[in-house]
Amino acid sequence: MAASTERVDVFWDSGMLNHNSGTGVFDTGMDPGFLDVLEKHPENSDRVKNMVSILKRGPISPYISWLPGRHALLPELLTFHSPEYINELVEADKEGGKMLCAGTFLNPGSWDASLLAAGTTLSAMKHVLDGNGKIAYALVRPPGHHAQPTRADGYCFLNNAGLAVQLALDSGCAKVAVIDIDVHYGNGTAEGFYRSDKVLTTSLHMNHGTWGPSHPQNGSIHELGEGEGFGYNLNIPLPNGTGDRGYVYAMNELVAPAVRKFEPEMIVLVIGQDSSAFDPNGRQCLTMEGYREIGKIVRSLVDRHCGGRLLIVQEGGYHITYSAYCLHATLEGVLNLLIPLLSDPIAYYPEDERLSVERIESIKRFQKDTVLFLKGH
């Protein structure tokens, strides 16, 4: 590997810690009055503090360089979001906060953190597009992949990854592929490019379906895109309990062939460690080894199609410690390191991948029969 590809340029700003999503019963913000201990909202600053510290002091630290974040400008937000929606967020911030939908609280400090998350992700993408680095990681919160052009959803206000994809298109990239491994469907990113054949959105997620007015999409294999975009949104709803071997099988049998056929000039890897075996917000069973293997597969794709250029964007991951370990493993894989740098502190999880393989084969048959650009491949 060339020296320029032996590092990950991490974009970060501590101001994103100022988004306080509150306490209550899990993510509800509710105090029932009979619990002595209310827990922090799962999307809290502690999870990201550990991600920062493991990259600064963990064994991967020699491979990490740190770059500053910035606030997004309002005109930049309008490349993905509607003016009416952005105005709703601005007004909610002026009025001291608002619950925008279930579990999604814009509190004092949240809008500033959201602007930092969006701007930091845009800076990371521009860094790669300008040739200043090959692999950039936007370590950001609040997360973004559920935020749709016209509404908030699932702890997300601004779609950081979607804004970065649009920047790549506006900067001359003919085609961009998104690979989303968060345990929840990346519905906001999909919605933003649902009618475009310039963006291939792929999402591996648990089969959770819709969860209300803020999330009308169900993440099924039938949500393929519309118009020119038909066939360019590939959903991979995996059975609950899918582990390392199941995820790697899906990557090799569904994601990698689609990306190779699409031939993108840029890949955005959207990561959430909530697909781990120990996450309170997901029902999948990835361990560090699975994340490491996913990172290696994505690295092979960017080396083949994108000149090694990759943007990684942080989304979910709510186990305060294991999420940081799984991030470490993902970046080890992306760096294509021959020997793992960090052993898994808790994972032994028995896996029977037969149901996952059966489901993946069924999805493969459906896609090959339905998606024009995959036929014959």
pLDDT, one tens digit per residue, over 96-122 is 999 999 999 999 999 999 999 999 999
| pLDDT at residue 265, rounded to an integer | 98
Both tokens of residue 53? Answer: 């510290």
Out of 2-6, 9-13, 191-195, least confident range: 2-6
| pLDDT at residue 347, rounded to an integer | 80
**Sign (positive/negative) of CA torsion 180, 186, 189, 190?**
positive
Strands 199-206, 64-68: pairing is unpaired
Q: What is the residue whose two structure tokens read 């493969």?
A: 364
Mean of per-residue pLDDT scores for the chain = 96
146 classed as catalytic? yes
Both tokens of residue 360? Answer: 């993946």
Residue ranges and CATH numbers for the domains of the chain are 8-370 (3.40.800.20)
Is-contact 235 199, C-beta < 8 A?
Answer: no
Residue 151 is given by DSSP the state: B
Interaxial angle between packed helices 83-94 and 110-129, expressed in degrees from 0 to 180 and rounded to the nearest 10: 140
- The average pLDDT across 357-377 equals 92
Both tokens of residue 212? Answer: 């209300």
Grouping H, G, I as helix, E, B as strand and the rest as coil, residue 65 is strand
Query: Which residue spans within 134-192 are E strands per DSSP?
Result: 135-138, 176-180
Residue 63 is given by DSSP the state: G
- The average pLDDT across 132-139 equals 98
| pLDDT at residue 1, rounded to an integer | 33
Gap between the Cα atoms of 26 and 210, Å rounded: 19
Q: List CB contacts of 42: < 8 A, sequence separation 6 or more.
A: 26, 27, 155, 280, 281, 318
Grouping H, G, I as helix, E, B as strand and the rest as coil, residue 140 is coil
| pLDDT at residue 355, rounded to an integer | 96
Grouping H, G, I as helix, E, B as strand and the rest as coil, residue 232 is coil
38-65 pLDDT, tens per residue? 999 999 999 999 999 999 999 999 999 9
Both tokens of residue 374? Answer: 């995959």
Share of the chain above pLDDT 70, in %: 98
**CA Rg value for the chain:** 19
Residue 71 is given by DSSP the state: P
Is-contact 17 125, C-beta < 8 A?
Answer: no
180-238 pLDDT, tens per residue? 999 999 999 999 999 999 999 999 999 999 999 999 999 999 999 999 999 999 999 99
- The average pLDDT across 7-35 equals 98
Does 375 score more than 90 pLDDT? no
Does 377 score more than 50 pLDDT? no
Does 3 score more than 50 pLDDT? no
Gap between the Cα atoms of 86 and 106, Å rounded: 13
| Residue of 146, 184, 215, 328 marked catalytic | 146
Does 338 score more than 70 pLDDT? yes
- The average pLDDT across 359-365 equals 98
Gap between the Cα atoms of 323 and 165, Å rounded: 25
- The average pLDDT across 158-179 equals 99
Question: Of the candidates 138, 134, 137, 136, which has an alpha carbon nearest to the alpha carbon of residue 4?
Answer: 134
- The average pLDDT across 8-25 equals 98
Gap between the Cα atoms of 292 and 223, Å rounded: 29
**Sign (positive/negative) of CA torsion 282, 283, 287, 293?**
negative
Paired with 203 in beta bridges are 180, 235
Does 159 score more than 70 pLDDT? yes
Q: What is the dihedral angle through the alpha carbons of 165, 168, 169, 170, rounded to the nearest 10 degrees?
A: 120
Does 332 score more than 60 pLDDT? yes
| pLDDT at residue 350, rounded to an integer | 85
- The average pLDDT across 327-341 equals 97
| pLDDT at residue 349, rounded to an integer | 74
271, with CB counted inside 10 A (0-12, 13-18, 19+), is buried
| pLDDT at residue 376, rounded to an integer | 59
What is the H or E stretch that residue 9 is in?
Answer: strand 8-12
C-beta neighbour count of 327 within 10 angstroms:
28
